[in-house]
Amino acid sequence: MDAGGEWSSRPVQSQAVPDADETTIRAVDEADVETLFKLIVELAEYEKLADKVRGDAEVLRRTLFEERAAEALLLERGGEAIGYAIFFTTFSSFECRSGIWMEDVYVRPEHRRGGIGRRVIEHLAQLAIERGHVRLEWCALDWNEPALNFYDKLGATRLDGWTMLRVDGERLRQLAQN
């Protein structure tokens, strides 16, 4: 957001982008929130983290469409939702410029290996360039070898020497009170 509280990045255009397999990548709209949330739960189950899902479709709707804290893409084939991506703007102090953080990219297992994951990341790379961002970043679980191998083939760099850290829940509230 800018100093006036306005969202400063251009929104994802809702125009569908077909790929060779008749898959479309389009911006999520409010009518898609229930479907998007179901896909998020599917990803959590795949990652063995379903017990960590705390939000719901209404929280997701408010976060995406009222707070505009993130953007989401829906992947469709033949009118069926087959995956999604969620991303938001980041900032690099060393670059003094913004980037995109890809929070999730998920394709249902039966639709993998058809090139759609690559198309999603290419789409986000195009958005990054169009918006003047300097990088596209994400993380992957260290046990998810299929994903890590896929990212290696894309030419992604593993950032050895960096450890992700998090403060949430009660510890976050405690820190905020000090």
Residue 104: name the closest of 84, 130, 82 by CA: 84
Looking at residues 117-145, what average pLDDT do you find?
95
166 domain residue, yes or no? yes
pLDDT in tens, 48-57: 999 999 999 9
Looking at residues 60-71, what average pLDDT do you find?
98
Write the CB contacts of 78 (distance below 8 Å, at least 6 apart in sequence).
Answer: 22
Looking at residues 134-161, what average pLDDT do you find?
93
Give the helix, strand, coil percentages of the chain, each rounded to 5: 40, 20, 40
Cα(11)–Cα(149) distance, integer angstroms: 31
pLDDT at 3 over 60: no
65 domain residue, yes or no? yes
1 domain residue, yes or no? no
Q: Residue 14's pLDDT band (boundaries 50, 70, 90)? A: very low
The CATH number for 172's domain is: 3.40.630.30
102 domain residue, yes or no? yes
Give the number of other CB atoms < 10 A from CB of residue 93: 6
Q: Residue 114's pLDDT band (boundaries 50, 70, 90)? A: confident
What domain range is 35 assigned to?
17-177
8 domain residue, yes or no? no
pLDDT of residue 113: 86
Q: Average model confidence (pLDDT) for the chain? A: 89
pLDDT at 100 over 80: yes
Selected catalytic residue, list 46, 84, 106, 151: 151
pLDDT at 2 over 50: no
Helix 145-154 × helix 116-130 angle, to 10°: 50
Provide the whole-model pTM: 0.85
pLDDT of residue 21: 56
- Exposure string for 32-70, b = 16+ CB within 10 A, e = fewer: bbebbbebbebbbeebeeeeeeeeeeeebbebbeeeeeb
**Residue 151 designated active-site:** yes
Residue 69 in 3-state DSSP? coil
What's the domain count of the chain?
1
pLDDT in tens, 20-33: 458 999 999 999 99
pLDDT of residue 5: 39
64 domain residue, yes or no? yes
Which amino acid does the sequence have at 33? V
